[in-house]
Each structure stands twice: as C-alpha cells, then as structure tokens.
Structure 1
Amino acid sequence: MDYIPGDVEIGFFLPLSLPEVSNTTGAAQFQSPPYKACRAYRTIENNYQQLFMPSFTLHEIRKNPKLLPNISLGYHMYYSYSMEERTLESYLWWLSGTDQIIPNYNCRERGKVVAVIGGATSALSVQMGTLFDLYHLPQLHSYLKNIQFENIVGEQVFVDENRRTEAHYVPSAVCSASCPAGFRKLPMEGKPPCCFSCSPCSEGEISNYIDAEQCKKCPEDEYPNEQRDHCLPKTVTFLDMNEPWGTAVTVVAVSLSLLTALVLWVFVKFQDTPIVQANNRNLSYLLLTSLSSCFLCSLLFVGRPTTASCLLRQTVFAVVFTVAVSCILAKTIIVVLAFRVTGPGSRMRMFLHPRVPYCVVLICSGIQGLFCTIWLGTHPPFPEADTSSESRHIILTCNEGSAFAFYCVLGYMGFLALGSFTIAFLARNLPDAFNEAKYITFSMLVFCSVWVSFLPTYQSSKGKTVMIVEIFSILASSAGLLGCIFIPKCFAILLILWENSTKQNKNQRSSRSKNSSFFNVISLFSPFHLKQYFKKGLPST
C-alpha cells in the first residue's frame, strides 16, 4: 500500500498480480483441503506502468493552479488482484480504515475520500460499483465536468460539460481530429501518437473506416469511388464499331477501299492505254487489290477481341502489306532494268523476263508468310483483359504473344520499303517520258515516315489508343501509296478524255439533239477512241 495525504483523497486499486493456474488435475485436486494463503500468484508485468501513473498525475495536478486551486490532492494505492474475491477484500479493508476488515463501519476521516479508481475487468467494476454505492462514493467522473486545461506538452485537454452517471466515462485528450474514411493517418514528427495529419488515399486505394493506419488497394477489376471509401466494379470496354472512334475508322476504311476499287476499275477499263500498259498493268492490278485489302484489314482491330480475330489481326495485316510493298519493289526493279540494261548481249537482260516481277513478289511475300507461321506456332496472339491502362475500365484487347515476333514482322516490311525507296531514289533521273520512279520514291518516303513515327507512339500508348494508333498507320500508309502512285495516273487518263471530249463538242453543230453529247462521252470509253487518244507512249514492260 502507498499513501500520500491531502485535503481530498482518491483511492487507487491496481491489478498487479494474477493467481497461478494449478497443474493438478483429476482426483489429485481432492487429496488436501484448499488453502488460499498458500496459493501462488504471478506478477502482471504489463500493468506495472499503472504503478507510476498516480504519483505522476498527482504531481502534474498539484503543479497546475488552474485545476484545484487552494486544495491538495492525496491518494491511497492498494495492490489488488485480478480476481473478484481478493479485490473486494482490498476494497473492504480500505473502507474500514483499519488494519482489519470491519464490514459496515468506516473509521476513516469523513469528507476526505472523494473518489475511487479501479476495476480491471467489467465484472470487478460491477461489484466495485455496487459496494461503493453503499458508502456513497462515486466514480471519478462526478468531479470532472466542464474542465479545460493544458497538459505538459502544451495540448488542450477538454472534459465533457455534461455530468455522467455511468461508470464508462473516460476523459480524452484531443490533439488531432479523426481522419475520415478515404484518408489515412500520418504521424507527426516530434509529436505524441495522438497527434497526426490526415492524408488522402493514393490513386487506386481506399480506406473504409475512420482513423485508418493504412489504405488498401482495390481488386484489379474494381476502382475507388471519388471519396475513396469503397470500391466500384470497372466497366468492360473495347474499340466498338458503335462508338465514335470505331465508327470513324470503319467509314474511312470502307471509303478508301471503295476508292481503290474504283481506281482498279479505271485501270481495267483503260487497260489498252499506254499509261496503263507502261506501268506493268498486271502488277498494278495486284498492287491495287492488295491496297484495297490493306484498308479492310484495319477492320479486324474493331470489335470485341476473340481468339480468331487476335490470330488474324497482325498476320493478315503483315502478309497483305508485304504483298503491296513487294509489288512496288518489283515495279521499281523492272523500271530500272528497262532503262539501264540496254546493251546488246548483256547478261542482265535475262532479268527483263515477264515472270521476274512475279517471282520477286512471291519470294518476298513467302518469307513474310514464313515469319508469321513461326510466330503463330510458337507464341500466338490471344485475347487479354487490360485492367491497368485505365482506372475505371477493363479494356479487352489482343496480346501479341511475342513482342519480338511482332517487331520482326514490322522490321522485314520496313526492310522491303527501304529497299524500294533506295532503288527508286537512284532511278529518279530517268527520262521523263516515263519515270514512275519519282512517284515510287515519294510514296515510299510517305510510307516509311508513317511507320517510323508509329513505333514510339505505339510504345507509349495504352488501352484503346494502341489499336487506334496502329489503325491510323495502316490507313495513312496505304492511302499514301494509293495517292502517290495511282491517283496521278487516273487523273491523267480522265483529264485527257475530258480534253478530247471538249474538242469534239466544239466541232459539233447545234443540229444535234440535247442527249447526243451524253452518248458522245459514253462512246469515248470504247477501245477505239482510247487508242486514238494514246497513240504515243512506251510499250509495256
């Protein structure tokens, strides 16, 4: 027992010991009568901090003149036990005020004992309250009402102004307001644990209770709400044909494919003209067909990814584009050979055989087909759900399976395009009567520029943007080939037809009917008229 006198006194009952549990079991427990005095007790080491709490608190209260002015506070400290019978025994001993227990008598000086602090468990607190009610002794909270003071670290301590009658009242020191859900506590350096700041949860994390120590991440298929206090399910999305980007891609691809088909029809319709014949019309037909397919293959990137579409998406694009570039390479080689190999008896003349360009296309395309076969046989593309590119969406896309194989396919196609560009550039000074090398040079420059800019953009893109970037590169490079090589020829053919039609109309008299001019224009498209318009020209290579 420890005692410090004062004008008013408080009783402390501290549970510092706990009875040992006997290892004796069975019939051995009844071989001797119970004897409490010999019962072993174990010290509760974690409770020893409570031993120094009363003296420290008393010292602080006495030092602060605002709390109990002109009143000295004392206390009685008793070492109780964590069991009901021994703790009540200590209470009765203290209430009696003597060295022995005298129930229903209080030999202490009246008016000095104002409160009791104790009750390590709820059971002890109930028994303690029942006993002290007989002696009209409160709990501590009856004397703590509407009190405000500063503690030793300069913090404001507030006690509720409403007087509580239950035993559960506990005064609290307030340093920081509680952190709401969606935030986490951050300790303040040099401050006690009750002082902290509130930091919002990071992107992708939530906290769903007050004063959370840490935030937790949402599952991959969910994302935090705006308050970041709970997770919401992500929306599954893909490049759909019904959304703006999907609709735009579809319209542009189909329109350019139809335009290519129209150019092909013009070349077939005017196949006997020198302009068409001089450009190796069969290679031109194959090139136009492959370009039309290039525009349409971009549609494989639109819609919900499936196993079939993922397998066809990159391989069809690679093979079709390789056919187109191979045709341009073959046309470039034939043009150079037609003007360079002119000496009689030259061994290079054997390469002017009509089947040479088709062999070039077949070999170059076959190598690309072999690359694609190895790709599909080892690491084929497959559908994938991308949960990380966008915070609120799960994007369905195609995983290429092997990035190395994908870049090998692109690299081979770039190698063919670079070869075509180099040969055409060297042949740019050929005679102007027929010089397709200039158009091929510019078309390959456009083609290479598009795909060189594609690589860094593709690497830095995420989600749907990856597909849109590749679709744009396909459409732009294909349109560059169509516009640079074939549109000028179509324009020349139609312009000459228009000029000749105008000349004939001037020579005609007004005696003709109104519809005669229409039939006259239609007749211009006959082989007879076309031969008359293009009498001068080079023979087909």
Structure 2
Amino acid sequence: MLRLHADCDRDRQTYFILLYIINYIIFLFLLNILFVNLIDFRMAQTMIFAIEEINTNESLLPNVSIGYRIYDTCGSRLTTGPFKIPVVRIKDSRSLTSDTTLIMYCLFVLCFLLQISPSATCECLSNKKDYPSFFRTIASDYHQSRALAHIVKHFGWFWVGAVNSDNDYGNNGMAIFLKTAQEEGICVEYSVKFHRTEPEKLQKVVETIKKGTAKVIVAFLSQVEMGNLFDQLSDKNIKNFQMIGVEAWITSESLMIPNSFHVLGGSLGFAVRKIDIEGFADYVTKEFWHTAFPCLQREGNSSQYGLNCSRYQDLLGLKNYNDDVTEQRYSNNVYKAVYAVAYSLHSLLQCTKKGGCEKSLTILPQQVKSVVEALKKINSTIKTGDHVWFDSSGAVVAQYEVVNWQQDLNGSIHFKPVGYYDASLPPDQRFVLNTENIIWAGGQLEPRSVCSESCPPGTRKAAQKGRPVCCYDCIPCAEGEISNETGNLQCPGEYWSNAEKDKCVLKAIEFLSFTENMGIVLVFFSLFGVGITALVAILFYSKKDTPIVKANNSELSFLLLFSLTLCFLCSLTFIGRPTEWSCMLRHTAFGITFVLCISCVLVKTIVVLMAFKATLPVSNVMKWFGPAQQRLSVLAFTLIQVLICVLWLTISPPFSYKNMKYYHEKIILECSLGSIIGFSAVLGYIGLLAVLCFILAFLARTLPDNFNEAKFITFSMLIFCAVWITFIPAYVSSPGKFTVAVEIFAILASSFGLLFCIFGPKCYIILFKPEQNTKQHVMGKNPSKSF
C-alpha cells in the first residue's frame, strides 16, 4: 500500500513518501515465520530494486524519496498492522488471485484505495463503472481467451474439451473463449468446471475427460485447480491429452514435479512475457543479502555466528540461488507498476527536472481520484523498453509468449518459447507460431482432435441430428456441386460437376447438329422434299403444252414450285450450331419463303374464282386480273413480309443464346427471338394469308368444274393451318434441340401438304390418266369421265 505523506525534514528539506506494498508477496521478515514463497520473494526484490532506482533518478521525482513496508497476506494484518490508511496498493495475484482482488476491492474502496495489480487478469475488472480505481500492468483475459481460440483453430482442432475454475476468473475467461470458439467454427464437446473446495465436482470432471473423444483440452484454471486436476489425472493414469493452458499455470514451477511430464508434457499455453531487467540479477545476489542479513559479516567466533544467523536459517538456504531470476515472468509487471506510481506522483507534485517538486502540495487519501486521473494520462518508456500506459479499461496491451512444456535429456522440465501473441500489431501479424519446435503430448505427432474426419473429394457434410456442427456424415455431393481440398463449391454458370464430383467441367452444349441421327433424318426429308418438288417441276415443264398444265396457270404453278423448294431448303438453316447470322437467316428465310408460297396459292385461288365468273355472260373480270396483275399481287404480298422482317432485324434481331435455365447439367444453344412482337408479326402475316386463302378456296370448292382445283387448295390449306396450330403448343413445350426439330417438322409437313394436295392430282392424271389430260375433259364437256 502507498501512503502519500508530506513531512518537512529540517535537515534535508525533502518530501518523504512511503510506498506500502501489502498483499503483494508471502514474505515475512518476522522471526516467527517458518517458510518463504520464492516467487513472492523475488517480486519483493523487484519492487525494492525499482524503488531504489527511482530514488537515485534525478529526473524522476527529484528531491522526493519513495519508501516501502512489506506485510504478509494474512487477513488480520490487513486491518491491524502498524500503518495508516493506504492510497495505492500493488498486489500479486499469484498469491492473491483475481477473485481475491474482487473481494478486497470493496474494502479498499471504503479506504480510498487505488489498486495496481501486476497479475490479476479477470475481464470482469475491466468494467470501469464498477472498478474505477483499479489498474493493472497485465492484460485482461479477454485477449488471452480469444488467443486460445485462435491457437486451437490454427492447428485445426475443431473438437475440444474445456475445463475452467468455478470462480470469476475461470467463468469469465471461459465464457469469452466459448463465444470466440463459436465464431471461429470450433465445437466444444464439453465445458465443465470445478472449485478447489469441491472434490466431488472434480471427480465428475475427470470422468468427463476420460469418456470424451476430444484429444485437446483447454484448461482455463488457476494454479491451484490445475494442480488438483493434475493429481487426479495422474492417479488414474489419464494421459496423452494435449493441454492448452493459460498464464495462471502454464509456467508454474509448482507443477514441475518428477511425474508431471507424462500428463502435462507437450502442453501449450500463453505466458506473461519474460523480460530481463538490467542490473536486477546482480542486485539480488549481492547487495540484498549483505544489507538484509548483517550476520553474514562474520565478526567473532562461529558460535556467535550461529547465534546471529540461526533465526534466518530458512532464508539463508536461498543465498546463492539466482538461477530463477530471469525466469520470473511477473517481475517486469511489478517493475512497471512501481514506475507507474512514480510517474503519476511526478505529475501530481508538478515535478520538473531542474526545479524539483512542488513542496506545498499534500496528497491525502481522499484525493484518490486525482491519482486515478494521473495514472490514465501517463505514457512513458522504462529502461526495459516497455511503455508504461493504461488503456480505457485500466490495463496494458496484451503481449504473451507461447510456451511449450519440454523435457531435457536429464529429465528436467522447461518452458520453451515457440511463438508470441501481440495485440498491438496488425490482426494478420499478431499471432506467430514456430510449430517445428513444439513437442506434442505423449511425444507423438501433432494430435488430431475432430468429431468427424474430413469428407473425401466428391462428398459433402451432412449434419448429425442433435449433435454439434463439427459432427457430420459424408454424403455424395449434389448435382452441380463438388468438394475438394478447398471445400464445397457450387460450380459456376457454364460449368457442371464431373462424375466423381471433385472437379467442375464445362457443361455439354446441346443443339441440333447435322451429325446426329435426328439431324440426319430431318436433312434427308428436307432434301427429299426438294427432290420431289424438282421432279414435279420437270414433269410440268415437259407437259407445259398439255391442257391440264395450261388450265392451272403454269406460270403460278412454277412460281409455287420454286417457293416450295425454298421452303424445303430453309429448314436446313435450323440445323447446326446457332450463330448470330444463322439465327437471323433462319427466321427471315422461313417467313419470306412461306409468304411467297402462300401468296402463290392465294393468287391461284383468286384466279380460279375469277375464271369461273369470266365464263358468265358479259363478264369481263379476267382482263383486270391477268398474268401481270397476278405477278404483282404475289410480289406485293411478299414485299409486305419482307418489310416486316427488315423492321424486326433492325429493331431487335434474333441472336444466339445460351439457355442454362431449362437444364442444369447442360447448355442449350438456341436462337433467341429478340423481339417477340417481330416474330409474332411474321407468323401472324403467314397465318392471315393462309386463312384468307382457305376461305376463298372453301367458297370455290363447289364450282361446276370437272377438275376443281379450289377443292385441292382447300385441303392443302386445311393441312397447313392444322400443322401450324398444333405447332405452337408443341414448340413451347419441347425442350432443347427438340424445339428446333418441332419447328423443322412443321415446315416440312406444311410444305409436303401443299405439294401433294395441289400438285399430286395433276401429276396423277399426267402420269397415269393421260386420257383425261384433254381440253374437253378439263372444260367439263365429258362428264362421264370426270376426275
């Protein structure tokens, strides 16, 4: 404890400030104490060393001296010792844990106490609302708990057990670890806790560890609880578990007993950084012993020496022991704590390097808030290279060594640094491990601790009902998914999973090609239609002077045969890989050739009707619809379709399109229509001409003619309309290349229907009934032999 007290010394005219450190170490200078805690003893030496350094430092607290008194941690001494109300207390949680700090804080607040702890790490103490006057020169467990999760994830241990002390220190630390572990995808098989006073719970914890399948255990325990757990594990010969520890026990020398390595060997954990304080080793081995124990200066006989030193015999055994000086990891925290007090007093007393300190100021216990504010503002560097400053929670930046329990050839245990964690560095540089230097539990290879092994390529994880996400079954990947070393992936748009489900390959591209069976059949029928049409044309040309050819308007007949040839040929444009040009050609060629064909049939129908009317008396209609008008009519009807196609191609033409919606495993390469309105206008115009032709032919079917061509045109138009009416639903419902096949079938079917219905009867007469190919028969003057 520190009592700030200003007295005027008549000789020196300086201020003397007493720094009381109680509950700091279990070290007694009283004659009735029978043992010494070596760790606390070294910490007391560190405190004294720092105080003497400050007192000889002319730039820090000039003309002001700092003193100290050391008391034991006995509860009665806290209230009855020969000291006045304290203001600052520096406490060691290796003797008094975070729980003790929480308990004592209530008492110290009543006494206007400000605490600076070098080792109390509980995150609960970061709450400045509840603990406004608490500071520490060690980081809170918030950082250590998160670092524990990171080290577990680093080694791929996604299935761990967790044990913690059942107190504020263990519960708070474990809660932070469990939360971080969940965020990092780590599953905790069990999380159990016990208190040093509950042996029944400890037995249950040991049984849980024994029955568990996790090979890694995160032990957020104090030194005492870890010792209790070790005793039980050792008694039951439970070993080969990879222990992950915290600073409270990972470097504890009390656990370094001969048989501890078979249980705790290979343990990994975070320890307070070990920093060498310059000059401290020499100080503790020379000056302290000669000043603290005057009996060592032998003056007189040996009996007198024994009389003088007998009361110090428990301490004298430590005189030449200095091997542990550099092993004290909390010494630097004590060193920083003393300097933090000195710097805050330097500020409060308004000290300057040359002018000294303000002598008229008196710091009373009630002015603890002033000391708190001064501590918040300090930011200095001590000779160890560390910065003395506190963050908003009253703690310092988190800096840990990662240590590994290893054993020398002679069997001695030591804690080897294998990495570090520094929260002051960027996130990707904070955690560094040298795995090559790590000795694992049981002297084996790096342990694996997973609930389920990684799924082989081609399979994916399926959660097991009622179990954590780290426990799963491996089932084959779904279609379009793969799994490999990088994890589960959904194949991107144009890719699909291979048969083994471990690689994405390009999807198969489907279109109606010339080489497949369906394409070959359609090409055959298309060329067959062209051949038949050519034969009909040759036959008509060879019989062009016969009455039946002349009577049926040979010019329109040849034009119709030409348009039918184009219709058969345009179906070929629908076969093959769709491209931008082929898509525009196929639809426009189809629309124009069919309009040309229907226009010829329509004009032929009109000619039939007009020819019948021309046979009536005083009828002169045929002179107004002669060959020239017929050709112009066909041209006019066709030009309208040409104009529609030009507008379609100009505004929004058809284009090649990869359809990946209909099938997931393959791509349909098809022609998108571009403008639906344009395509509808093309089909609508063809349908309009066909319906008009059908109506006119239907009206002329009963004309009193021996060879009534209108009847055959009616049948052809009936077939044509039926084909294209059934085409629409078939076209919409057919998938992939079958859509194109349906369209080609409709073109061929309607073309064959027109060819056979219109030209079939004529060819039959020419070839098989030549006797009917006479003018009398055509004019209906031989009704007994009418067709």
Q: Given the two structures, how large is their TM-score scaled by the length of structure 1?
A: 0.67
Give distance in 2, aligned partners of 1:124 and 1:134.
23
Q: 8 Å contact 1:297–1:317 — kept in the other structure?
A: yes
Corresponding residue pairs, total: 425
Partner amino acid, structure 2, of 1:371: I
Equivalent residue for 2:254?
A: 94
Give distance in 2, aligned partners of 1:535 and 1:347.
23
Q: 8 Å contact 2:250–2:270 — kept in the other structure?
A: no
Any idea what SS the aligned residue of 1:250 has? helix
Aligned partner of 1:130 among 407, 415, 421: 407
Give distance in 2, aligned partners of 1:396 and 1:111.
74
Deviations 1:328-374 (A, max 9, x none): 11111222233356654568666554444333312211111110110
Equivalent residue for 1:514?
A: none
Instruction: Call closer, same or farther: CA 1:330–1:59 in 2, change over 3 Å.
Output: farther
| Structure 1 residue 266: Cα displacement | 1.3
| Structure 1 residue 492: Cα displacement | 0.9
| Structure 1 residue 325: Cα displacement | 0.5
Partner amino acid, structure 2, of 1:314: H
Deviations 1:107-144 (A, max 9, x none): xxx9799733852269967542238984689xxxxxxx
Q: 8 Å contact 1:241–1:250 — kept in the other structure?
A: yes
Any idea what SS the aligned residue of 2:443 has? coil
Equivalent residue for 1:145?
A: none
Give distance in 2, aligned partners of 1:395 and 1:273.
52
Give distance in 1, aligned partners of 2:268 and 2:210.
29
Give distance in 2, aligned partners of 1:461 and 1:199.
34
Equivalent residue for 2:204?
A: 60
Give distance in 2, aligned partners of 1:374 and 1:63.
85
The answer as to 2:528 corresponding to 1:380 is: no
Aligned partner of 2:456 among 172, 176, 180: 180
Equivalent residue for 1:282?
A: 555
Give distance in 1, aligned partners of 2:746 and 2:489.
41
Matches within 5 A, 1:470-481: 470-481=743-754
Q: Which runs of 5+ in 1 are unaligned?
A: 1-30, 69-74, 81-85, 97-105, 138-162, 501-529
Partner amino acid, structure 1, of 2:444: E
The answer as to 2:318 corresponding to 1:318 is: no
The answer as to 2:313 corresponding to 1:165 is: no
Matches within 5 A, 1:182-331: 182-209=458-485, 215-235=488-508, 238-331=511-604
Any idea what SS the aligned residue of 1:207 has? strand
The answer as to 2:612 corresponding to 1:468 is: no
Give distance in 2, aligned partners of 1:58 and 1:314.
84
| Structure 1 residue 405: Cα displacement | 1.0
Equivalent residue for 1:419?
A: 692
260-269 vs 124-133, greater mean Cα deviation:
124-133
404-413 vs 182-191, greater mean Cα deviation:
182-191
Equivalent residue for 1:536?
A: 777
Any idea what SS the aligned residue of 1:277 has? helix
Give distance in 1, aligned partners of 2:247 and 2:210.
35
The answer as to 2:729 corresponding to 1:456 is: yes
Give distance in 2, aligned partners of 1:32 and 1:230.
69
Q: 8 Å contact 1:88–1:128 — kept in the other structure?
A: no
Any idea what SS the aligned residue of 1:193 has? coil
Q: 8 Å contact 1:339–1:430 — kept in the other structure?
A: yes
Equivalent residue for 1:508?
A: none
Equivalent residue for 1:154?
A: none
Q: Which has the larger radius of gyration?
A: 2
Percent sequence identity over matched residues?
A: 39
Deviations 1:247-274 (A, max 9, x none): 3232222221121111111112212222
| Structure 1 residue 282: Cα displacement | 1.2
Deviations 1:282-337 (A, max 9, x none): 11111011101111122222334444333322112211110100111111122223
Give distance in 2, aligned partners of 1:164 and 1:66.
16
Instruction: Call closer, same or farther: CA 1:88–1:444 in 2, change over 3 Å.
Output: same
* C-alpha RMSD over aligned residues: 4.2
Any idea what SS the aligned residue of 1:91 has? coil
Q: Which runs of 5+ in 2 are unaligned?
A: 1-58, 62-115, 119-135, 149-172, 179-190, 196-200, 213-219, 227-245, 272-399, 415-440, 781-787
Any idea what SS the aligned residue of 2:593 has? helix
Give distance in 1, aligned partners of 2:601 and 2:539.
19
Q: 8 Å contact 1:222–1:233 — kept in the other structure?
A: yes
Deviations 1:87-106 (A, max 9, x none): 4986344237xxxxxxxxx6
Deviations 1:169-195 (A, max 9, x none): 3665x5x66543333323345433344
Q: Given the two structures, how large is their TM-score scaled by the length of structure 2?
A: 0.47
Q: 8 Å contact 1:223–1:231 — kept in the other structure?
A: yes
